[in-house]
Amino acid sequence: MPSPRLLDQVRDRLRVKHYSMRTEDTYLHWIRRFIFFHGKKHPREMGGAQVEAFLSHLATSARVAASTQNQALSALLFLYREVLQVDLPWLDGVVRAKRPKHVPVVLTENEVRALLAQLEGTRWLVVSLLYSSGMRLLEGLRLRVKDVDFERHEITVRDGKGARDRVTMLPVRLVEPLRSHLARVRVLHQRDLAEGYGEVHLPFALARKYPRAGRSWIWQYVFPSGSRSVDPADGVIRRHHLDEKIVQRAVAAAARAAALAKPASPHVLRHSFATHLLQSGYDIRTVQELLGHKDVSTTMIYTHVLNRGGRGVLSPLDRIDPGPAPDK
């Protein structure tokens, strides 16, 4: 039997290690580009010089961002270490591009209120939940029914960034809207079951361990897609979660309608959540836990955008009475 093609080996190894479908697509993209860049030469015949040349090309000719260049490097490191099992000295010596440090965009509470006023229905509920809980967009869209605890006002985020679970808040104001939404989702699920569908994708090996769990109510997505589709992983027709682009476009349109003078996205709402908690007096360790940051230094960036000016310092001009403003 012929050995599997290289990209198939990469795909299989990624799935064994439980990488997400998005990471799988990204890694395969960069490995494919690396091979084509060097004239379809097999990676076993290449080494550090070829990797450095490819990364330099991305930075100088393709002019990609530092984060994109690091993404390509991560894909190539995975190829050599995990698939080809080649541990060469240059792997540790390859320098990652230094990412520039930017202060995050943060909306004021009034701007968040204006943004939400331009949304309605499921889009309003998703965006409100993202802002009120600090979840990343995909964390919110991947929520299962079982992860929402109405009595404790808690949401459990499963397999978040870094493959870590965490608990965040479910605001009281969203309890009834979310209950009503789930009642409609349940009707949709029952209709799918009646038509011979109703199975949802299960993470890891749960589908083999619990064959009927994928059709149960508790495993359904809180925000399901409006239509069923073929799962590319196994060809089964399922109802996936709501497409992230729908939420991204809804936030962008709402920001335009609200005439916000800042770029707005679902992730900006996460920044705003953290900053507003710090403004309210919550300690940074609590905010770190709610955001799921591994290191508190990541959370510290939000102390730089509090509403009292740079680094929370009061300007000396605000301490004196400079007199009337000069005439123009």
CB 31 within 8 A of CB 7: yes
Instruction: Specify whether 302 is catalytic.
Output: yes
Instruction: Specify whether 161 is catalytic.
Output: yes
Q: Which of 146, 215, 267, 304 is catalytic?
A: 267
Instruction: Specify whether 81 is catalytic.
Output: no
Backbone angles phi, psi at 73, to 5 degrees: -65, -40
Instruction: Specify whether 267 is catalytic.
Output: yes
Q: How many CB atoms lie within 10 A of CB 130?
A: 24
Backbone angles phi, psi at 224, to 5 degrees: -75, 160
Q: Which of 123, 136, 144, 276 is catalytic?
A: 136
Residues 36-43: contacts with CB under 8 Å, at least 24 apart: 42/6, 43/6, 43/79, 43/80, 43/84
Q: Which two tokens stand for residue 14?
A: 């990624």
Backbone torsion region of residue 102, taken as left when φ is above 0, otherwise alpha when ψ lies between -120 and 50, otherwise beta: beta
Q: Measure the CA–CA gap between 69 and 55, rounded to whole angstroms.
A: 6
- Read out DSSP for 121-136? HHHHHHHHHHHHH---
Q: Measure the CA–CA gap between 207 and 212, rounded to whole angstroms.
A: 8
Q: Which of 38, 57, 158, 161 is catalytic?
A: 161
Strand segments (E) across 163-213: 166-169
Q: Measure the CA–CA gap between 254 and 271, rounded to whole angstroms.
A: 18
Q: Which of 123, 239, 241, 270 is catalytic?
A: 270
Instruction: Specify whether 18 is catalytic.
Output: no
User: What amino acid positions are annotated as catalytic residues?
Assistant: 136, 161, 267, 270, 293, 302
